[in-house]
Amino acid sequence: MADRSLRGIRLGASSLQSEEGVVFHQRTDYTYVCTLCSRETVMTFAADADAPEAWECRTCGAEAVLRVGDAVVEIDHSGDKVARTHWDMLLERRTLPELEELLEERLAFVRGRRGTVEEKVVGERLSA
Ligand SMILES: [Zn+2]
């Protein structure tokens, strides 16, 4: 009988500890308005935490902006870093004329090698 007494209890599913004497942290709801679909996303944060100015829209995933009162927060994107592409990085090291020159060199090398490979193949066919 003793081995049956634990039946029906799923570990982790619920706490057996009572909530008596537990003080819940103060929480505040923040509303974010989507810049794309205009739907609202409500997020709950700790009252003493700084809510971010933007959150991902729950409906479409676009940027949703924090609403304060009747208006939404202005978000300054001017400080955002624009991702550098490989091309941008290349241009920091080489000028366009230099790149043209390198391309010509490389093309000449590839053409020269292709020529020798083709000659070799033809040579092998002739000898076979
Ligand atoms: Zn949206």
Name the residue with higher pLDDT: 115 or 4. 115
pLDDT category of residue 1 using cuts at 50, 70 and 90 = very low
Mean pLDDT of the chain: 82
Cα(84) to centroid(ligand 1), Å: 28
Cα(36) to centroid(ligand 1), Å: 5
pLDDT tens digits, 23-51: 878 899 999 999 999 999 999 998 888 88
Cα(65) to centroid(ligand 1), Å: 10
Residue 96 has pLDDT above 80, yes or no: yes
Q: How far is CA 29 from CA 7, 22, 26, 66, in A?
A: 39, 21, 10, 11
Q: Within a 10 A sphere around the Cβ of 105, how many other Cβ atoms?
A: 10
- Cα 100 to chain centroid distance, Å, stands at 35
What is the arithmetic mean of pLDDT over 76-95?
84
Cα(32) to centroid(ligand 1), Å: 10
- Cα 99 to chain centroid distance, Å, stands at 32
Cα(60) to centroid(ligand 1), Å: 4
Q: Which residue has the tokens 């676009």?
A: 62
Alpha carbons 54 and 66: distance in angstroms, whole number: 6
